[in-house]
Amino acid sequence: MAKRRQILVIGHNTNGCTPQHEDAAYKVGAAIAASNSVLITGGLGGVMEAASRGASEAGGLSVGILPQDDASFANPYCDVVIPTGMGLTRDFLNALSADGIIIVGGGSGTLSEVCAAYMHKKPMVAIRGMGGSVAPYVDGYVDHRKNVRIEGADTPREAVSAILQMIESGSD
């Protein structure tokens, strides 16, 4: 059996997550499930919970990698819960566990995951118009090294299609 693609969805936790973020994340999660890929999130609320709910309701597999050492912190839509006890360091684990990343808004934690993924040249797609800390880098690079371009997408479906294509082609 071939390894399934693993797609990390990142963005605002409960604080800062708007209905627009939740709707986009839900649709991304459902499209990831429909592609037979595994959804990875930080396992908490906001964008993470909405994406997990979308994947769950579409019959997909959702993995939550928690910063806490207690599985009870996971949102109810995580099928697999990994309580790391690593705190914010788990952002690196999230990024390195993924074949590709989809960004739906987000704050400094999201930016931390983006930087970890950027340093390891992971393909990334951000949904345009979601604001947040990553907005200045959409359709561009985090820094002068140009490790990997953060591609922009206008819709959740476009974001999933783009990340799947990037993963399959091996492009950064």
What is the enclosing helix (H) or strand (E) of 8?
strand 6-11
pLDDT in tens, 106-147: 999 999 999 999 999 999 999 999 999 999 999 999 999 999
User: Of the CATH numbers 3.40.50.450, 3.60.130.10, 3.40.718.10, 3.40.50.10150, which one belongs to the domain with range 6-169?
Assistant: 3.40.50.450
Residue 165 CA to residue 169 CA, distance in Å, equals 6
Token match 């050492």: residue?
Answer: 69
- Residues 22-66 have pLDDT tens digits of 999 999 999 999 999 999 999 999 999 999 999 999 999 999 999
Cβ(75)–Cβ(45) below 8 Å: yes
